[in-house]
Amino acid sequence: MSTLAPGARRKSKAGWNLLGLLVFVTAGFPVYWMVNTAFKPAKDAIDPDPSLLPTGLTLGNFSRALDIADFWGPVGRSLIVSLSVVAIGVVVGTLAALAISRFAFRGRKIVIVGILAVQMIPLVAMIIPVFLLLNDLDQYDKLSGLIITYLTFILPFTVWTLRGFIVNIPKELEEAAMVDGCSPTGAFLRVVFPLLAPGMVATSVYAFIQAWNEYLYALMLLSQKNQTATVWLGNFTTKHGTEYAPMMAGSTMMAVPIVVLFLLVQRKMAAGLTAGAVKG
């Protein structure tokens, strides 16, 4: 701190850095170990005294993971579900977000409280009635059933997040456009929408990740033959028990694209919600 002599300060800085590196190693190790195991020759993976450094590079575990059970089918289904959820969620969510951020109307606060409250219901608690509802609607074991179910947790999220992006767009811009002869719709399309687009992209990616990662509903609402990618990984066992090296290869295939996507939007999500657009 500032009261220390320069030498002492450098020393304390080194101490903090050492602690920081310890945090880095601890937080990063599981991710490192997953990738490390995925590329290891299978016999090195079950060494009772495993080497912490990579011992060789092989893609054998990946091909083994793809052989154990159909991989591309579940991935395709996960893609269909996630993309559909994002498409519906972002369009419907944008409309709703516009309503609560740009209009004053009776009942607005109740709607906001409702949308916030909905996010607080643990999804696990809803699985029984949702399962029975889809059963009644003949939507059990159908991707459409899963899509509509996912909207329950994606919609509140998209509405609330997009609302955050919309309130950061100064109303004055729209008003100016309307003074210049735009209709409210025209003002939205020409002024708000271009400014909102990056936020919509980030929200979409984030919603995609959430839908892609969901496990419980996918497990419960689809049969084995229609399983999605997360369920594929969760059920990863062979006749010989769990083969960890292929399982880590499968995990790597599932995680890396998602982590990359996450890295791309994470900053934008934080920035979009914190950046003030109206400079006072």
Closest approach of other proteins to the CB of residue 106, in Å = 8
For residue 236, how many C-alpha atoms fall within 13 Å in the half-sphere facing its CB? 23
Closest approach of other proteins to the CB of residue 53, in Å = 12
Complex with other proteins: residue 80 or 256, whichever CB lies closer: 256
- Residue 158 CB contacts under 8 Å (≥ 6 apart), including other chains: 89, 90, 92, 93, 94, 97, 203, 207
Is residue 219 within 8 A of residue 268, CB to CB? The reply is no
**How many Å apart are CA 101 and CA 277, to the nearest integer?**
15
Complex with other proteins: residue 59 or 116, whichever CB lies closer: 116
Complex with other proteins: residue 63 or 144, whichever CB lies closer: 144
Closest approach of other proteins to the CB of residue 63, in Å = 19
- Residue 41 CB contacts under 8 Å (≥ 6 apart), including other chains: 55, 56, 58, 60
Complex with other proteins: residue 225 or 274, whichever CB lies closer: 274
**How many Å apart are CA 12 and CA 7, to the nearest integer?**
9
Closest approach of other proteins to the CB of residue 51, in Å = 10
